[in-house]
Amino acid sequence: MNWKSTIIKDLAWGTKISNREDKEAIAAKVVQLVKYRDVIGFGSGSTSALAIEAIGKRVREEKLEIIAIPTSHEVEMACVKNDIQTGSFLKYQPDWCFDGADEIDPDKNLIKGRGGAMVKEKLLMSAASKTYILADKSKFVSNLGEKFAVPIEVLPIAVNSLENSLLSLGASTISLRIGIKKDGPVMTENGNFILDVNFKNIGKELEKEINMLPGVLDNGLFMNFPIEVLTAN
Ligand code: 5RP
Protein backbone atom coordinates (compact mmCIF):
# COMPACT_ATOMS: atom_id res chain seq x y z
CA MET A 1 0.00 0.00 0.00
CA ASN A 2 1.27 3.51 -0.79
CA TRP A 3 0.99 6.45 1.64
CA LYS A 4 -1.96 8.74 0.92
CA SER A 5 -0.12 11.74 2.48
CA THR A 6 0.03 14.97 0.47
CA ILE A 7 3.28 16.22 2.03
CA ILE A 8 5.56 14.75 -0.60
CA LYS A 9 3.03 15.15 -3.43
CA ASP A 10 2.92 18.91 -2.77
CA LEU A 11 6.70 19.36 -2.55
CA ALA A 12 8.15 21.88 -4.98
CA TRP A 13 11.61 23.44 -5.47
CA GLY A 14 11.85 26.04 -2.67
CA THR A 15 13.16 29.04 -4.60
CA LYS A 16 12.96 30.45 -8.14
CA ILE A 17 15.08 28.23 -10.41
CA SER A 18 17.78 30.29 -12.13
CA ASN A 19 18.26 29.75 -15.92
CA ARG A 20 15.17 27.55 -15.87
CA GLU A 21 14.76 27.37 -19.67
CA ASP A 22 18.32 26.12 -20.14
CA LYS A 23 17.94 23.64 -17.28
CA GLU A 24 14.71 22.26 -18.79
CA ALA A 25 16.41 21.84 -22.17
CA ILE A 26 19.24 19.89 -20.53
CA ALA A 27 16.77 17.77 -18.54
CA ALA A 28 15.06 16.89 -21.83
CA LYS A 29 18.42 15.60 -23.10
CA VAL A 30 19.28 13.41 -20.12
CA VAL A 31 15.82 11.84 -20.04
CA GLN A 32 16.48 10.42 -23.53
CA LEU A 33 19.49 8.48 -22.19
CA VAL A 34 17.41 6.47 -19.72
CA LYS A 35 16.93 2.83 -20.75
CA TYR A 36 14.79 -0.03 -19.44
CA ARG A 37 16.24 -1.55 -16.25
CA ASP A 38 19.02 1.04 -15.85
CA VAL A 39 20.28 1.63 -12.31
CA ILE A 40 20.98 5.35 -12.17
CA GLY A 41 22.60 7.58 -9.55
CA PHE A 42 20.41 10.67 -9.20
CA GLY A 43 22.30 13.87 -8.27
CA SER A 44 20.84 16.72 -6.23
CA GLY A 45 20.04 20.36 -7.05
CA SER A 46 17.48 22.20 -9.18
CA THR A 47 18.72 20.91 -12.56
CA SER A 48 18.53 17.34 -11.30
CA ALA A 49 15.05 18.09 -9.92
CA LEU A 50 13.88 19.08 -13.42
CA ALA A 51 15.46 15.93 -14.85
CA ILE A 52 13.65 13.82 -12.23
CA GLU A 53 10.31 15.35 -13.28
CA ALA A 54 11.03 14.56 -16.91
CA ILE A 55 12.13 10.98 -16.10
CA GLY A 56 8.99 10.50 -13.98
CA LYS A 57 6.86 11.40 -17.01
CA ARG A 58 8.58 8.69 -19.08
CA VAL A 59 8.25 6.16 -16.25
CA ARG A 60 4.49 6.76 -16.07
CA GLU A 61 3.80 7.01 -19.81
CA GLU A 62 6.05 4.14 -20.97
CA LYS A 63 5.88 1.97 -17.83
CA LEU A 64 9.67 2.28 -17.88
CA GLU A 65 11.31 0.21 -15.13
CA ILE A 66 14.41 1.80 -13.64
CA ILE A 67 16.05 2.07 -10.23
CA ALA A 68 17.21 5.42 -8.92
CA ILE A 69 19.85 5.69 -6.21
CA PRO A 70 19.24 9.06 -4.53
CA THR A 71 22.06 11.32 -3.32
CA SER A 72 19.89 13.19 -0.77
CA HIS A 73 16.53 13.20 1.04
CA GLU A 74 15.43 15.89 -1.41
CA VAL A 75 16.05 13.53 -4.34
CA GLU A 76 14.51 10.51 -2.64
CA MET A 77 11.32 12.49 -2.05
CA ALA A 78 11.31 13.82 -5.63
CA CYS A 79 11.53 10.19 -6.83
CA VAL A 80 8.59 9.20 -4.63
CA LYS A 81 6.59 12.17 -5.94
CA ASN A 82 7.42 11.25 -9.54
CA ASP A 83 6.71 7.50 -9.22
CA ILE A 84 10.35 6.50 -9.71
CA GLN A 85 11.49 3.35 -7.88
CA THR A 86 14.44 3.97 -5.57
CA GLY A 87 17.05 1.49 -4.39
CA SER A 88 19.80 1.49 -1.79
CA PHE A 89 23.45 2.04 -2.65
CA LEU A 90 24.11 -0.87 -0.29
CA LYS A 91 22.41 -3.13 -2.82
CA TYR A 92 22.87 -1.46 -6.21
CA GLN A 93 25.84 -0.12 -8.16
CA PRO A 94 24.87 2.68 -10.55
CA ASP A 95 25.27 1.96 -14.28
CA TRP A 96 25.58 5.70 -14.71
CA CYS A 97 24.73 8.93 -12.89
CA PHE A 98 23.53 12.42 -13.67
CA ASP A 99 24.16 15.47 -11.53
CA GLY A 100 24.50 19.24 -11.54
CA ALA A 101 27.57 21.33 -10.71
CA ASP A 102 28.34 24.79 -9.40
CA GLU A 103 31.50 25.38 -11.47
CA ILE A 104 33.18 23.52 -14.36
CA ASP A 105 36.68 24.41 -15.53
CA PRO A 106 38.10 23.80 -19.05
CA ASP A 107 39.50 20.39 -17.91
CA LYS A 108 36.04 19.34 -16.68
CA ASN A 109 37.00 19.56 -13.00
CA LEU A 110 34.11 20.62 -10.77
CA ILE A 111 33.03 22.40 -7.64
CA LYS A 112 29.83 20.94 -6.22
CA GLY A 113 27.99 21.14 -2.92
CA ARG A 114 25.92 24.34 -2.92
CA GLY A 115 23.11 22.07 -1.78
CA GLY A 116 25.29 20.24 0.73
CA ALA A 117 24.96 16.80 -0.89
CA MET A 118 28.51 16.47 -2.25
CA VAL A 119 29.55 13.49 -0.11
CA LYS A 120 26.93 11.09 -1.46
CA GLU A 121 27.20 12.67 -4.91
CA LYS A 122 30.91 11.84 -4.99
CA LEU A 123 30.32 8.36 -3.58
CA LEU A 124 27.90 7.49 -6.37
CA MET A 125 29.96 9.18 -9.07
CA SER A 126 33.00 7.17 -7.96
CA ALA A 127 31.04 3.94 -8.33
CA ALA A 128 29.73 4.64 -11.85
CA SER A 129 31.66 4.36 -15.08
CA LYS A 130 30.09 7.57 -16.40
CA THR A 131 28.31 10.65 -15.08
CA TYR A 132 26.48 13.26 -17.13
CA ILE A 133 26.93 16.74 -15.67
CA LEU A 134 23.95 18.94 -16.49
CA ALA A 135 25.34 22.43 -16.94
CA ASP A 136 23.64 25.68 -17.89
CA LYS A 137 25.87 28.47 -19.17
CA SER A 138 26.39 30.05 -15.73
CA LYS A 139 28.48 27.04 -14.63
CA PHE A 140 31.53 27.48 -16.87
CA VAL A 141 34.60 29.21 -15.36
CA SER A 142 38.24 29.63 -16.40
CA ASN A 143 39.49 28.67 -12.94
CA LEU A 144 37.73 26.83 -10.13
CA GLY A 145 36.85 29.11 -7.22
CA GLU A 146 35.86 32.10 -9.36
CA LYS A 147 32.28 32.15 -8.09
CA PHE A 148 31.96 29.49 -5.38
CA ALA A 149 33.87 28.56 -2.26
CA VAL A 150 34.88 24.92 -1.79
CA PRO A 151 32.44 23.24 0.61
CA ILE A 152 34.09 20.88 3.08
CA GLU A 153 32.05 18.49 5.23
CA VAL A 154 33.65 18.23 8.67
CA LEU A 155 33.00 16.65 12.06
CA PRO A 156 31.36 19.29 14.28
CA ILE A 157 34.15 19.01 16.88
CA ALA A 158 36.86 19.65 14.25
CA VAL A 159 35.82 23.18 13.26
CA ASN A 160 38.56 24.95 15.25
CA SER A 161 41.30 22.36 14.80
CA LEU A 162 40.92 22.54 11.02
CA GLU A 163 41.40 26.29 10.72
CA ASN A 164 45.22 26.39 10.74
CA SER A 165 45.54 23.35 8.47
CA LEU A 166 43.20 24.92 5.90
CA LEU A 167 45.14 28.20 6.08
CA SER A 168 48.33 26.19 5.41
CA LEU A 169 46.68 24.76 2.28
CA GLY A 170 46.11 28.31 1.01
CA ALA A 171 42.65 29.15 2.36
CA SER A 172 41.87 32.87 2.23
CA THR A 173 38.45 32.83 3.93
CA ILE A 174 36.75 30.11 5.97
CA SER A 175 33.11 30.29 7.02
CA LEU A 176 30.76 27.92 8.76
CA ARG A 177 27.63 27.39 6.63
CA ILE A 178 24.62 28.75 8.52
CA GLY A 179 21.06 27.51 8.06
CA ILE A 180 18.14 29.38 6.55
CA LYS A 181 14.91 28.59 8.42
CA LYS A 182 17.11 26.97 11.10
CA ASP A 183 19.19 28.80 13.67
CA GLY A 184 22.87 27.93 13.79
CA PRO A 185 24.97 25.78 11.47
CA VAL A 186 23.63 23.63 8.63
CA MET A 187 23.75 19.96 9.65
CA THR A 188 24.36 17.67 6.70
CA GLU A 189 22.44 14.44 6.15
CA ASN A 190 25.47 12.70 7.69
CA GLY A 191 25.26 14.78 10.89
CA ASN A 192 28.24 17.03 10.11
CA PHE A 193 28.95 20.75 9.51
CA ILE A 194 30.05 22.43 6.28
CA LEU A 195 32.93 24.90 6.04
CA ASP A 196 32.83 27.05 2.90
CA VAL A 197 36.42 27.83 2.06
CA ASN A 198 37.89 30.18 -0.55
CA PHE A 199 41.40 29.27 -1.69
CA LYS A 200 43.98 31.58 -3.28
CA ASN A 201 44.70 28.86 -5.82
CA ILE A 202 43.03 25.50 -6.50
CA GLY A 203 45.67 23.04 -7.67
CA LYS A 204 45.14 19.51 -8.95
CA GLU A 205 46.12 17.96 -5.58
CA LEU A 206 43.94 20.16 -3.35
CA GLU A 207 40.99 17.77 -3.28
CA LYS A 208 43.19 14.99 -1.83
CA GLU A 209 45.13 17.35 0.45
CA ILE A 210 41.92 18.58 2.10
CA ASN A 211 40.68 15.02 2.57
CA MET A 212 43.89 14.05 4.39
CA LEU A 213 43.08 16.47 7.23
CA PRO A 214 41.71 14.80 10.40
CA GLY A 215 38.04 15.63 10.86
CA VAL A 216 37.27 16.05 7.15
CA LEU A 217 34.77 13.65 5.59
CA ASP A 218 35.01 14.91 2.00
CA ASN A 219 34.91 18.12 -0.03
CA GLY A 220 33.20 19.58 -3.07
CA LEU A 221 36.15 19.43 -5.48
CA PHE A 222 35.64 16.74 -8.14
CA MET A 223 38.92 16.39 -10.06
CA ASN A 224 39.35 14.03 -13.02
CA PHE A 225 36.04 12.20 -12.78
CA PRO A 226 34.78 10.37 -15.89
CA ILE A 227 32.13 12.90 -16.83
CA GLU A 228 30.40 14.13 -19.94
CA VAL A 229 28.96 17.63 -19.81
CA LEU A 230 25.45 18.15 -21.22
CA THR A 231 24.53 21.71 -22.13
CA ALA A 232 21.35 23.28 -23.45
CA ASN A 233 22.59 23.44 -27.07
C1 5RP B 1 24.19 19.96 -4.65
C2 5RP B 1 24.97 20.21 -5.90
C3 5RP B 1 24.22 20.66 -7.10
O4 5RP B 1 24.31 19.66 -8.08
C5 5RP B 1 24.80 21.96 -7.61
O6 5RP B 1 24.72 22.91 -6.56
C7 5RP B 1 24.01 22.48 -8.83
O8 5RP B 1 22.73 22.90 -8.44
P9 5RP B 1 21.69 23.52 -9.45
O10 5RP B 1 21.33 22.46 -10.43
O11 5RP B 1 20.53 23.92 -8.56
O12 5RP B 1 22.32 24.72 -10.12
O13 5RP B 1 26.16 20.02 -5.96
O14 5RP B 1 25.02 19.58 -3.59
**Which range has the worst mean pLDDT, 2-16, 28-42, 124-138, 214-228?**
2-16
Ligand 1 centroid to Cα of residue 1, in Å, is 33
- What's the pLDDT band for 37 if we cut at 50, 70, 90? very high
The pLDDT-based confidence of 126 (bands split at 50, 70, 90) is very high
Ligand 1 mean position to 82 CA, how many Å?
Answer: 19
Closest CA to 151 of 112, 99, 209: 112
Ligand 1 centroid from CA 33, angstroms: 20
Angle in degrees, 0-180, between the axes of helices 73-81 and 46-62, rounded to the nearest 10 = 30
Task: Please report the pLDDT score of residue 135 as a whole number.
Answer: 98
Distance CA 147, CA 133 (A): 18
Task: Look at residue 4 in the predicted model and tell me its pLDDT.
Answer: 87
Residues with beta carbon inside 6 Å of ligand 1? 43-47, 99-102, 112-118, 121
pLDDT per position as a tens digit, 178-206: 999 999 999 999 999 999 999 999 999 99
Pocket test for ligand 1, best of 47, 120, 122 (most atoms within 8 A of CB): 47
**For 69, how many CA atoms within 13 A lie in the half-sphere containing its CB?**
24
| Dihedral in degrees, nearest 10, Cα atoms 208, 212, 215, 217 | 30
How far apart are the C-alpha atoms of 11 and 78, rounded to whole Å? 8
* Mean pLDDT, rounded, for 62-78: 97
Catalytic residue among 74, 76, 103, 121: 121
With 0.75 as the threshold, say if the pTM is over it: yes
- The answer, yes or no, to whether residue 5 has pLDDT greater than 90, is no
Q: What percent of the chain has pLDDT over 90?
A: 97
